[in-house]
Structure 1
Amino acid sequence: MAFTYVCPFCPLGCDDLPWGGNGDWAQIAECERASAELASFKHGTVARLHDRLIDDQSLVVDDFLRRLKLPAVPILSVNQPTIEESKRLVDWLVQSRIRLSSAERDPSERAFANTIGRDGNVTATLGDVYRHAKSIWVLGDPDETFPRLNKQLDRLKATVVRSRQIDSLYLSRLSEPADWLLRDYVGIIVASNAFAESEETIAADLLSRLIAKLNAPLDDRRMRRAVAIRLSSDENLSSVMRWTTNHSLDRYSTDLAAHIQVGSPRRADFSARPPVKLQIGGIDFGPDAADAYLPAGQPGIDLAGTTIRLDGSVTLPLTRQVETHLPSRGTLLGQVIASLSADSASPIETGNKR
């Protein structure tokens, strides 16, 4: 009997992925990202050093890492960590055993997050916007990070306006907003690359002021409502960091490129950056993406976990669908971190080939 489950591959947290009851892997026609991740997991991957596949039973951490020459405190890029993984990452960050790379974090996302942190934000859940908004304004390009968002918006009755990138001049001219911004409920969705390059900070500030201005009385009895939803790919990690330390991720981040990638790279275009030294889990794109690769279990597929939907509205369970005996990403990363400061080698278990 077929059933559905929560997708673990992006922060949108779609809960309608089909799974064949007889163990068949369903193709997710509406989402290229989920289809690619599932196909990679189904076909299986093995450990790799440069262009050479390695017998996982003979792999030793120290020998493996000695060839990669990782620093004692590596810089990480992490894609879609669960709440459980985020707790371990926060511990390592606070202990100064790792740092986070912000080199690939979208500047528009960072600028709007900083503005919200300073000025506050009038927000709502995606579900509320879907059901009640009369107009929805999508800023930036959500397709790469949230592949199904635009398809979901196309099914709505609301007027949907898309702006690939806006600058401060455009926002300043909205002192007299267009008619579609003057509806009684407007939802503004801020995705990656929402603001013009080098204008992210001032554009985020102007957008925040516009949202405050739009929240005004329509008449003596009615208020006009405008809300902003920030599409964050780091909701789990940033939430756990705030709960635990009351700090933002910026405190433990650097603009330097990552040494280690956990999960699939956020972007499949590797021409703009050198390969990382090591990738743990996710899709192995080969030496162009990472000098070395270690296969790992995926929460929501062969491991259980918990995640927060990108708007922070709800915590979702990631259930295990199959058994592979692969170690978790956190287990492998913990062994790598320990090995970087250990005096002796320790075997690394990568499980059976799939």
Structure 2
Amino acid sequence: MPVPLRPAVSALPAYVAGRPAPERGDLVTYKLSSNENPFAPLPEVLDAVAEASRAMNRYPDIANTRVAEALAARLGVTPDRLALGTGSVGVLYHLLQAVCGPDDEVVHAWRSFEAYPISVLLTGARWVGVPLGPGAEHDLDAMLAAVGPRTRAVLLCSPNNPTGPALRHDEVLRFVDAVPDDVLVVVDEAYVEFVTDPAAVRGLEVAEGRDNVVVLRTFSKAYGLAGFRVGYCVAEPRLAQAVRSVALPFGVSLPAQAAVLASLEQEDALLARVAELVERRDALVAGLRERGLDVPDAQGNFVWLPAGPGTTAVAETFADAGLVVRPYVSGQPGDGVRITVGETEANARVLEVAARLGRAGTELSEPPPTV
């Protein structure tokens, strides 16, 4: 008889990672499926990683002391409010493990970050997905109505991955103040450095003075450290300590800690790259709209193309042109394609393909013409 698995584990949906770009002899291919930063690491960061790797026979600092101190100074918080982990999603897993259990519920928008249902189900809790509203945005009124006596946490993704819009600061304040004080509200700001909307939520301000609000952030996107998996949360000290207690010991490696410290020292150069990606993003959104495609507001390093039942065909059309994008196919309303802002040449080719897709309206109901 096989070893039985927990029902929660058996029921887990698979996390679908972005596919790599295949090598082709006829053209250069681009991976636009994983929201990665297309710029190569800075030399100063590479040097710090190489130096740290000389001590790979030693365990890393389990408390991430130097990183926490540098990050606390950067954010204007005390180190005891920080907990680090293997990417912001790793920190989310630990956070929900600390507060959720069987028969609890976690409310979040859907479609949103694909790891949310997995992180909830691992605790034995149930996820309550609230459909996005117009413009592919969170419907905060509907989410508030979904909060009930079993709700232990609410997840807010801003900008929303994969659709792009950011939550508005004043609306989030009203939402948080209407949620019971014993319900955790997680403001996931994995793409915060790319946000240019002045009305967008400012997570750290929302968390100030509210012990039930936690902010999630990552070094994967703007700082270009996706391969090292370093994320963190800002929380009140008791919650932060709970996350650190649940976390896998030595989760953030020695080279990863060195990369974060070097990146914070080189932040001006890295944020200049972010500014360039924002310009490319805005140009990509404008170009897609000019070609008749319905693209919602984009505040991350990606754009969203609603495609409905034509989603698979749209993704294949891009793939035929050497562009690997990320299709979201469920057979339900709201399916579409996420396209990461990439190299200048890749973005130009996206617009070339978009010209062949024709005017989409709200969704591409028919398969597009082949490229």
TM over 0.5: no
Q: TM-score, normalised by structure 1?
A: 0.34
Structure of higher CA gyration radius = 1
The structure whose RCO (Cα within 8 Å, separation 6+) is larger is 1
Q: TM-score, normalised by structure 2?
A: 0.33
Q: Which has the higher helix share?
A: 2
